[in-house]
A = this chain, B = another copy of it.
Amino acid sequence: MSNTARTIMLVDDHAVVREGYRAMLQKQPGLSVVAEASDGVEAYRLYKETGPDLVIMDLSMPGIGGIEAIRRLRQWDKRAKILVFTMHQNAAFAVQAIRAGASGYVTKTSPPETLVHAVMDALSGKIAISPDIDHELALSHLAGESAAADLLTAREFEVLRMLLAEKTTDEIAEALHLSPKTVANLHSLIKDKLGVGTDIELVRLALRQGILTQVDLGER
């Protein structure tokens, strides 16, 4: 193993968090932060420029989100190592991140040692998942709550996304060139497949599963 420092890039839209990373990683010998980005596109640019050994990335960011950023980085460099470090204690997000090519998923509530361990694991090629997410994953399995994306057909998922984003049944019908009646049928079928009774439950489920994110909704 080389004894030069391993290089790290930080990606987080909150300056205070990046400061925190630095403070925590500085204590660790053999690590060196070589770049910082505050959003996905900047991360992409800086990765190509500096080619760090590891990227530590948040998920919730302006512009392209973290998941999409991971995907693009891995497309550019198939061997990029990306450790997700996020506030979302949510198994669905973790699954999405790993599928997109992340090497690990650690929540921000974890103690500093967990992050350091995960960094080491990721650098040595292991996949690191923080314990709370392991627990989450186990829970959602036990609850039999499969991912909505798997239960629904492509068409149904499309309608679901529009239901959550757009407004009325009629608007969706027009956008998708369907009869309003069909949209209503789909809407009903979706709720049935997902096992929810009301639209409100539907939104909550979508939030949990990361189909809808907070930024899509309220927070302008």
Closest to A88 in B: B219
* Nearest CB of B to A215, in Å: 10
A47 to B148, CA, bound (A): 45
A201 touches B167 (CB 8 A): yes
Query: For A90, what are the chain B residues with a Cβ–Cβ distance below 8 Å?
Result: 218-219
Query: For A197, what are the chain B residues with a Cβ–Cβ distance below 8 Å?
Result: 167-168
A142 within 8 A of B: no
B199 touches A207 (CB 8 A): no
A189-220 with Cβ < 8 A to chain B: 197-205, 207-209, 214, 217-220
Pick the residue among B20, B60, B88, B208 that contacts A17 (CB under 8 A): B20
A141 to B204, CA, bound (A): 28
Query: For A60, what are the chain B residues with a Cβ–Cβ distance below 8 Å?
Result: 87
* Protomer copies: 2
A112 touches B16 (CB 8 A): yes
* Nearest CB of B to A177, in Å: 21
Closest to A205 in B: B218
A121 within 8 A of B: no
Take A87-B14, A115-B16 as given contacts and tell me if A207 and B218 are in contact as well, using a CB distance cutoff of 8 Å.
yes
Query: For A136, what are the chain B residues with a Cβ–Cβ distance below 8 Å?
Result: 220
Closest to A112 in B: B15
A60 to B197, CA, bound (A): 29
A18 within 8 A of B: yes
A47-101 with Cβ < 8 A to chain B: 60, 85, 87-90
Query: For A208, what are the chain B residues with a Cβ–Cβ distance below 8 Å?
Result: 217-220
B19 touches A18 (CB 8 A): no
B23 touches A108 (CB 8 A): no
Query: For A88, what are the chain B residues with a Cβ–Cβ distance below 8 Å?
Result: 219
* Nearest CB of B to A216, in Å: 9
Can you give 5 A-B contacts (C-beta < 8 A)?
Answer: A15-B111, A18-B20, A19-B19, A89-B219, A168-B197
